[in-house]
Structures are given as C-alpha cells and as structure tokens.
Amino acid sequence: GENVEQHPSTLSVQEGDSAVIKCTYSDSASNYFPWYKQELGKRPQLIIDIRSNVGEKKDQRIAVTLNKTAKHFSLHITETQPEDSAVYFCAGPLGDDKIIFGKGTRLHILP
Amino acid sequence: DSGVTQTPKHLITATGQRVTLRCSPRSGDLSVYWYQQSLDQGLQFLIQYYNGEERAKGNILERFSAQQFPDLHSELNLSSLELGDSALYFCASSVRGGDSTDTQYFGPGTRLTVL
C-alpha cells in the first residue's frame, strides 16, 4: 500500500498568500523528512528537510513542521511569489534504510 | 548544479530498441538511485546501488537493468523499448545508502522518447 501520501495534488494560491502541503507516512523508523521542488523540465532539488524530533524548521519563507505522533509533516510557504510555482515532493521513511517520495503537489501562484 | 551528471540529455529511439543511460554521482557519494518520471507523474523508484552492489529494488521492469562500476558511475539499460517507456529518467546520489536519513541529490535527467 501507499507509504507516503501527499495532499493536495494541485494547489492554487494568490500571490502573497500562504501555501501548505501535507504528507502522511506509515513507517515511524526515521527522523528525516525532506521536501523537494521540481520546476518544469528540471531536476528535483532539496529545499528543506528536518532531521530530528524538533517540530519545526524554518528557512526564510519556507518552513517544515513535523508531528511524529500523528505521522504527518507539512511544508509551509509564506508570501508566495511567482517563482514558487513548481511541483513539490515530500519524502518519508520506508523502513530503516529507504525513503519513498509522495506523488507530488503542483503549486500554481496566481497573479 | 548538484554535482550529479547524466548523459545523454535527450535520447530518441524506436520501439524494440535498447539504450543505455549513464550517471556519475557527486564526488564521494557511494549510492546511486534511478527514478522514472512519466508525464505529470511522480518519481517512481527503480533501483539503488551502493558501492557497486544492488541495495534496493523498486518497480523496475525485467526489461530494465542497471549496474554500478568500480569508479561508482552507474548505467541503466533499457531494452525491448515500448512507447510507454518514454519518460524522464533521473539519477540521484547520496553519501551513504543504507540509511533513510541520507539526502539524495538529483542529476539533470535523461529524456527518453520512444517512437
């Protein structure tokens, strides 16, 4: 079955507003939860990750929150800009030694 | 630039043919992962190699095979190609490989078109 579920599959937000993408996972072995951004025709690039039991990590307009009890983690983008338009992938643990990617969220920033 | 290189950038071939995609990992990385991304699809994990040995297998077809060489570069071989094999193929590398906390760095991808 699905080990990492990502929602929503598509998200449209007005420029300047916030966007939130959520992932849930089933295996609880890992403390590592990365987020990747993929612009059209380009490679996925790591934008932020969280590696501990700490609940939140921020990097300028991007933040990741982690709730290990509920087994979900979220990507938050504030003050969205046109260049934030892309597909975002979360990745979560699959056992002790692998990660699995979510199906992706296509984020559209509307002018 | 992630430091992971892939060649060729584009590949156009016919059904039934065989192709080889090449990947060079970042300097010092021991693991190489291969992913397939079809149009508007997610990243489908195919296979992982760690220091020359197969480490994990995903949804890789029997027509596909891979290997990692002593210099740690990797090749993905796709044979008896079908139209549905048209996709973007990404390689990623990481320092370790037997650890779910290992960051993966992606190459620019090879776009395969099967006509």
CA distance B44 to chain A (A): 8
Taking 70 as the threshold, does the pLDDT of residue A28 lie above it? no
Q: How confident is the model at residue A1 (pLDDT cuts 50, 70, 90)?
A: very low
Q: Which residues of B touch A46 (CB under 8 A)?
A: 103-105
Interface of A with B in 84-103 (CB under 8 A): 89, 93-103
Opening angle at CA B33, ends B28 and B37, nearest 5: 135
Chosen for mutation from A99, A105, A108 (greatest number of chain B CBs closer than 10 Å) is A99
Residue B109: which region, alpha, beta or left (left: phi > 0; alpha: psi -120 to 50)? left
Chosen for mutation from A35, A40, A43 (greatest number of chain B CBs closer than 10 Å) is A43
- Mark yes or no for CB contact A43/B109 under 8 Å: yes
Taking 50 as the threshold, does the pLDDT of residue A24 lie above it? yes
Q: Which of B98, B100, B104 sits opposite A30 (nearest CB)?
A: B100
Name the residue of chain A whose CA is nearest to B42's CA.
A103
Dist. CA B58–CA B50, nearest whole Å: 15
Dist. CA B67–CA B72, nearest whole Å: 9
Tell me: the pLDDT tens digits for A79-108?
A: 999 999 999 999 887 666 677 889 999 999
Q: How confident is the model at residue B99 (pLDDT cuts 50, 70, 90)?
A: low
Radius of gyration of chain A (CA): 13
Tell me: the pLDDT tens digits for B37-68?
A: 998 778 998 999 999 999 888 889 999 999 99
